[in-house]
Amino acid sequence: MSRVDKERTEAVFDDFKPAYNRAQALTEAHRCLFCADAPCIKACPTSIDIPQFIRKIATENTRSSAKTIFESNILGMSCARVCPVETLCVGDCVYNGMDEPPIQIGKLQRYATDLAYEDETWRPFEAGDATGKSVGLIGAGPASLACAHELRRLGHACTIYDKRPVVGGLNTTGVAPYKMKADRSEAEAEWVLKIGGIEVETGVEVGVDKSWADLGEGHDALFLGVGLGPDHGMSLPGEDLPGVHGAVEYIERFKLGAVDLAGVQSAVVVGGGNTAIDAVRELAGLGVPSVTMVYRGVEDKMSGYAHEWKVAKQEGVRASWRSQPLAFEGDGKVEGVRCARLDDAKQPTGDEHVVPADLVLLAIGQAKLEGLLSGLEGVSFERGRVVVDAAQATTREGVWAGGDCANGGKEVVNAADEGKRAAQAIDAYLQGAK
Ligand code: SF4
């Protein structure tokens, strides 16, 4: 049952990439060349057998197609919507070198997985025979869900802990609503949990409501999938004015509930990464008349995906390049962002300008959660990330990690891959511990 508000602001968005109907899916599937040594498989972090699942769509064996996807990536439904396919599988499709449109792999994956979700009785996988071992997973996001599902297939009991009242992690609270809405992410989490034997304790903050010592005593192994921390601030004058927010925090507010943008005429998003692009597109989509991205760099060097920025521009978003915020100005609430103009070497030219704004979102990165994990002695960090080996093992025996807390902030598909591989390594460890 959905735990997010039905009246939430994100509900106004339509899908940016509408779903295929049967005829469209069959037509696209029949275009696939079913390449041997297919480059699209190599471009997928979870190595989905893409030509095989497409061939099964072409022969109208969609349930088996979905199983091929879920066998590699149990989060294949959300990945079909949120993966940056232009830089992964679709970007490597051989058609790109033939002056032909590449196969729309994400839309075909969505077609197969959505049909699978429609049959509520169908379960592609069973839990394994009980091993008597138990794993605690901290965080209910994609990495933990993928890890727990694989652990259940291997017969280990699992408990997931999350401080939030909702499951799905950033898939629920942070994904751009024109790609996927919060209730769809919740539905995926519930679907994954239907394998059985995964307990979920929401509203439990480890280190506050439950100690690391208790967790260690209650489980034979632990998996850390805690994601990243709060938005970074800029420590600039006026940052505490009403109307200045962290982007991730603000996006979560309108994905889970309602925000009032009625009085907002001009919004500024500071940053040039993918969160910044999501934020400007979302504000434009919510009807803010003027949306400007303020970024220190230049257009062809921004860290966000170029294909996403191209769409943002088509949607009317503007940018103030080579602009370094100096202060947030306003009388009782934010009214503008004072910026220094930078030169090619990102040094101030001496020119300053003010970008009008009655809403400012800071999208300059998120804090790492080193502090949260400090109670877990023996776990090492490097630049705020949990240090892991190739099997996602941390430097403390019996503890693995995956997703953003270990990779610094990548895609859902990376979290799914890391969670699954961690589960296989945990299984080998628990087998040895028998
Ligand atoms: Fe099909 Fe393109 Fe993959 Fe070849 S590279 S198998 S054409 S999707």
Name the CATH superfamily for 134-229+367-432: FAD/NAD(P)-binding domain (3.50.50.60)
Specify whether the CB–CB gap between 339 and 323 falls below 8 A.
yes
Condensed to tens digits (0 to 9), the pLDDT of residues 152-204 reads 999 999 999 999 999 999 999 999 999 999 999 999 999 999 999 999 999 99
Sequence-separated (6 or more) residues with CB below 8 Å from residue 98: none
Mean pLDDT computed over 283-293? 96
Residue 400 has pLDDT above 90, yes or no: yes
Distances (CA, A) of 227 to 134, 311, 326, 370, 415: 22, 28, 30, 11, 10
Q: How far is it, in rounded angstroms, from Cα 95 to Cα 368?
A: 40
Task: Provide the token pair at 126.
Answer: 């069973």
We find that the CATH architecture of domain 9-118 is Orthogonal Bundle (1.10)
**Ligand 1 centroid distance, CA of 4 (Å):** 38
Sequence-separated (6 or more) residues with CB below 8 Å from residue 310: none
319 — pLDDT class (breaks 50, 70, 90): very high
411-422 core/surface letters (b: 16 or more CB in 10 A; e: else) = bbbbbbbbbbbb
State which fold the 244-362 domain adopts.
Answer: FAD/NAD(P)-binding domain (3.50.50)
CA angle 278, 39, 415 (to 5 degrees): 45
Residue 428 has pLDDT above 70, yes or no: yes
432 — pLDDT class (breaks 50, 70, 90): confident
**Ligand 1 centroid distance, CA of 56 (Å):** 14
156-191 core/surface letters (b: 16 or more CB in 10 A; e: else) = bbbbbbbbbebbbbbbbbbbbbbbbbbbbbbbbbeb
User: Which residue, judged by its Cα, is nearest atom 2 of ligand 1?
Assistant: 93
Residue 25 has pLDDT above 90, yes or no: yes
Residue 1 has pLDDT above 60, yes or no: no
9-118 matches 134-229+367-432 in fold: no
From 65, 103, 111, mutation site for ligand 1 pocket: most ligand atoms within 8 A of C-beta: 103
pLDDT at 146: 98
Under DSSP, is residue 348 helix (H, G, I), strand (E, B) or coil?
strand
Task: Provide the token pair at 73.
Answer: 């990536």
Instruction: For the full predicted model, state whether its pTM sits above 0.85.
Output: yes
**Ligand 1 centroid distance, CA of 225 (Å):** 33
Residue ranges per domain, the chain? 9-118, 134-229+367-432, 244-362
Distances (CA, A) of 196 to 157, 158, 203, 315: 9, 10, 21, 44
Residue 352: how many other CB atoms lie within 10 Å: 14
2 — pLDDT class (breaks 50, 70, 90): low
Distances (CA, A) of 37 to 66, 92, 93, 213: 21, 12, 12, 48
Residue 373 has pLDDT above 90, yes or no: no
For 281-337, give the secondary structure using H, E and C: HHHHHCCCCEEEEECCCCHHHCCCCHHHHHHHHHCCCEEECCEEEEEEECCCCCCEE
Q: How far is it, in rounded angstroms, from Cα 151 to Cα 422?
A: 9
Give residue 4's Cα distance to chain centre: 18
Specify whether the CB–CB gap between 78 and 167 falls below 8 A.
no
Mean pLDDT computed over 358-381? 87
Under DSSP, is residue 359 helix (H, G, I), strand (E, B) or coil?
strand
Residue 5 has pLDDT above 80, yes or no: no
Element (H, E) at 216: helix 212-218
Sequence-separated (6 or more) residues with CB below 8 Å from residue 301: none
In this structure, the residues whose C-beta lies within 6 A of any atom of ligand 1 are 32-35, 38-40, 50-51, 93-95, 103, 105
375 — pLDDT class (breaks 50, 70, 90): confident
